[in-house]
């Protein structure tokens, strides 16, 4: 079941992984660790993800905007629990100028150019956006205010892992302001569901979603709801969150509006985001020992055609291939003809497998004589011969079939790795072995949660069921809630 190989590959930089990203080498003595360069092929995957997410976000009524990278320290400290949650992982800008070193060796910070107030490189943008909102919002007519930002952010994590926790990462953060609590909470849940649907339909990743515990919630939020995916090694990956901010930030940033009844009121807010981390979920969920496996919906190249020819018949083969490319492109944009004649077909097969292209066509003299093409699907490595006249129709169906099949596999992984656990000993055994999600009763006491974490490394991921009755797995007291708990990234 668990493929430890895939997981370990996301933690080091093996060869095939280097097709997508590489470790940033910023400088010989740079203290910046855990930044990554996203290569063109990797970025193309991200762009496909962005495109579909952006469509869904706009469909929910949000408009894209952009706010500054640098946040004055004073903004940052306005909401008490927010600053407490992020303070330990912030990069701080203190100066605005360099100068030649007095000893003539290189460049040093000009101490005369010290900023009066330090600037924080955004670890998230609530504070700078809400400072702006306080000026944008004056009347009930300005609400709801629905804004989304695509940006990079920086968190100085003590330990980084490629994709899963990098110092700098790309994300999308949505910020909404409502006049009423009901509207606000509805959207918190709607956006959570949007992420669940996106993961399922586009990434072919099945998830659990629901409310987070007090200790796991966003710094400054009333409630946080998370989306969790199961990785092949039995650990859970949180790849999206939706926060009910209540009036916490509105009060801290003095966001007010005059309502229809003439009184001045404080609005309600929510925020939600997903990051390049979900590319980690995508890679770990689907890939195998031969490299990436990409769902067609996000694959930069959906079909690759590898011509197999010798000098004598190159023209014939290429003409046949070009003809097929032309036909495919009428309905499938992402088709690539690998016309390089300086690498062997075997090399190409391997290379496109590493890159996770869903469908490969191998076309040589033999196929032409048989009146068709050889097709190979990446997810199962199954080879098939398809009549020339059927190629377009067959390819479209095959791409759908691959998308569905990857989702089915993800669904069985999450299902097969979820177990209702009654006894604490059972939980300990599970977390030492196969891991996965334990569905347990928990009384809600943070002390039980903390002890479970200390003894099993498992944390509460999200609530599984409310209004049920059972006994807390740790203390045995009455519990009305079942929770998914797991070790996590």
Part of the chain binding RNA (CB under 7 A), chosen from 177-185, 192-200, 373-381, 468-476: 373-381
Q: What residues contact 467, with CB distance under 8 A and at least 6 apart?
A: 480
If one asks whether residue 276 binds RNA (CB under 7 A), the answer comes out as: no
If one asks whether residue 158 binds RNA (CB under 7 A), the answer comes out as: yes
Smallest distance, RNA to C-beta of residue 153, A: 8
If one asks whether residue 380 binds RNA (CB under 7 A), the answer comes out as: no
Contact call for residues 479 and 444 (beta carbons, < 8 A): yes
DSSP-derived 3-state class of residue 110: coil
Contact call for residues 485 and 431 (beta carbons, < 8 A): no
The correct pick among 214, 315, 341, 387 for binding RNA (CB under 7 A) is 341
If one asks whether residue 366 binds RNA (CB under 7 A), the answer comes out as: yes
The correct pick among 36, 279, 363, 431 for binding RNA (CB under 7 A) is 363
* Rounded Cα distance, 196 and 208, in Å: 8
If one asks whether residue 351 binds RNA (CB under 7 A), the answer comes out as: yes
CA 415, 416, 418: angle at the middle one, nearest 5? 65
What is the strand order of the sheet 303-308 is part of?
Answer: 335-337, 303-308, 359-364, 372-377, 383-387
Contact call for residues 48 and 193 (beta carbons, < 8 A): no
The binding track of 78-97 with respect to RNA, each residue x by CB under 7 A or -, is -------xx-xx--------
Smallest distance, RNA to C-beta of residue 319, A: 14
> CA end-to-end span of the chain, whole Å?
19
If one asks whether residue 316 binds RNA (CB under 7 A), the answer comes out as: no
Part of the chain binding RNA (CB under 7 A), chosen from 49-57, 94-102, 159-167, 431-439: 159-167
Place of tokens 């966003």: 218
Part of the chain binding RNA (CB under 7 A), chosen from 93-101, 103-111, 368-376, 472-480: 368-376
Closer CB to RNA, residue 140 or residue 349? 349
Smallest distance, RNA to C-beta of residue 259, A: 30
Closer CB to RNA, residue 139 or residue 152? 152
The correct pick among 79, 168, 228, 362 for binding RNA (CB under 7 A) is 362
Place of tokens 């003299």: 365
Restricted to residues 197-236, the positions that interact with RNA (CB under 7 A) are 216-219, 221, 224
**Any alpha helices (H) in 214-338, and if so which ranges?**
248-252, 277-286, 314-329
Closer CB to RNA, residue 135 or residue 158? 158
How many residues belong to the site for RNA (CB under 7 A)?
64
* Rounded Cα distance, 434 and 417, in Å: 8
The correct pick among 61, 68, 346, 446 for binding RNA (CB under 7 A) is 346
Closer CB to RNA, residue 209 or residue 479? 209
- The residue ranges of DSSP E strands in 155-289, in sequence order, are 168-178, 207-211, 223-230, 236-246, 257-258, 264-265, 268-275
Part of the chain binding RNA (CB under 7 A), chosen from 63-71, 129-137, 342-350, 402-410: 342-350
Part of the chain binding RNA (CB under 7 A), chosen from 32-40, 227-235, 246-254, 421-429: 32-40
SS3 annotation, 121-151: ECCCCHHHHHHHHHHHCCEHHHCCEEEEEEE
If one asks whether residue 238 binds RNA (CB under 7 A), the answer comes out as: yes
Closest C-alpha to 54, from 177, 182, 174: 174
Smallest distance, RNA to C-beta of residue 219, A: 4
Query: Which secondary-structure segment (H or E) carries 375?
Result: strand 372-377
Closer CB to RNA, residue 220 or residue 441? 220
Contact call for residues 437 and 485 (beta carbons, < 8 A): yes
If one asks whether residue 195 binds RNA (CB under 7 A), the answer comes out as: no
If one asks whether residue 347 binds RNA (CB under 7 A), the answer comes out as: yes
Question: Cα separations (Å) of 231 from 178, 265, 278, 354, 453?
Answer: 36, 45, 11, 20, 19
Contact call for residues 166 and 160 (beta carbons, < 8 A): yes
Catalog residues that contact RNA under the rule CB under 7 A: 11-12, 15, 23, 28-34, 85-86, 88-89, 124, 155, 157-159, 161, 165, 171, 216-219, 221, 224, 238, 241, 243, 273, 275, 277, 290, 308-311, 341-347, 349-351, 353-354, 362-368, 374, 376, 381, 383, 457
């Amino acid at each position: 079941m668990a493929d430890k190989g895939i997981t370990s590959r996301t933690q080091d930089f093996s060869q095939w992984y280097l097709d997508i990203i590489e470790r940033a080498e910023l400088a010989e003595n740079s203290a910046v660790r855990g930044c990554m360069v996203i290569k063109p092929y990797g970025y193309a995957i991200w762009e496909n993800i962005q495109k579909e997410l952006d469509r869904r976000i706009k469909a929910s009524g949000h408009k894209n905007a952009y706010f500054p990278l640098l946040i004055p320290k004073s903004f940052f400290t306005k909401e008490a629990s927010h600053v407490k949650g992020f303070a330990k992982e912030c990069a701080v800008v203190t100066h605005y100028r360099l100068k030649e070193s007095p000893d003539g060796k290189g460049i040093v910070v000009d101490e005369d150019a010290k900023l009066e107030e330090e600037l924080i490189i955004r670890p998230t943008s609530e504070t700078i956006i809400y400072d702006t909102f306080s000026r944008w919002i004056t009347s009930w007519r300005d609400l709801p205010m629905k804004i989304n930002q695509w940006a990079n952010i920086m968190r100085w994590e003590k330990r980084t892992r490629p994709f899963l926790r990098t110092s700098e990462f790309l994300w999308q953060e949505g910020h909404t302001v409502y006049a009423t609590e009901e509207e606000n909470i509805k959207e918190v849940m709607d956006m959570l569901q949007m992420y669940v649907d996106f993961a399922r339909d586009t990434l072919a990743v099945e998830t659990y979603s629901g409310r987070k515990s007090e200790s796991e919630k966003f710094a400054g939020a009333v409630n946080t709801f998370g989306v969790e995916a199961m990785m092949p090694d039995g650990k859970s990956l949180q790849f999206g969150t939706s926060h009910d901010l209540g009036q916490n930030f509105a009060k801290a940033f003095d966001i007010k509006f005059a309502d229809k009844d003439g009184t001045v009121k404080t609005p309600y807010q929510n925020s939600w985001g997903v990051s390049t981390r979900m590319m980690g979920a995508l890679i770990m969920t689907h890939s195998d020992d031969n490299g990436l496996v990409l769902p067609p919906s996000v694959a930069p190249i959906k079909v690759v055609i590898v011509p197999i020819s010798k000098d004598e018949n190159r023209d014939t083969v290429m003409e046949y291939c070009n003809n097929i490319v032309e036909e495919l492109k009428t309905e499938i944009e992402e088709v690539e003809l690998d016309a390089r004649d300086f690498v062997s077909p075997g090399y190409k097969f391997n290379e496109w497998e590493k890159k996770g292209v869903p469908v490969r066509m191998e076309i040589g003299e033999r196929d032409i004589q048989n009146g068709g093409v050889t097709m190979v699907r990446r997810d199962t490595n199954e080879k098939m011969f398809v009549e020339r006249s059927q190629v377009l129709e067959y390819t479209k169906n095959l791409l759908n079939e691959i998308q569905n099949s990857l989702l089915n596999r993800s669904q069985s992984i999450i299902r097969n790795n979820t177990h209702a656990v009654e006894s604490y000993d059972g939980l300990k055994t599970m977390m030492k072995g196969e891991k996965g999600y334990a569905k347990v009763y928990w009384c809600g006491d943070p002390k039980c949660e903390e002890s479970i974490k200390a003894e099993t490394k498992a944390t509460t991921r999200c609530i599984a069921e409310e209004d049920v009755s059972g006994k807390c797995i740790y203390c045995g007291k009455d519990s009305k809630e079942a929770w998914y708990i797991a070790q996590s990234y």
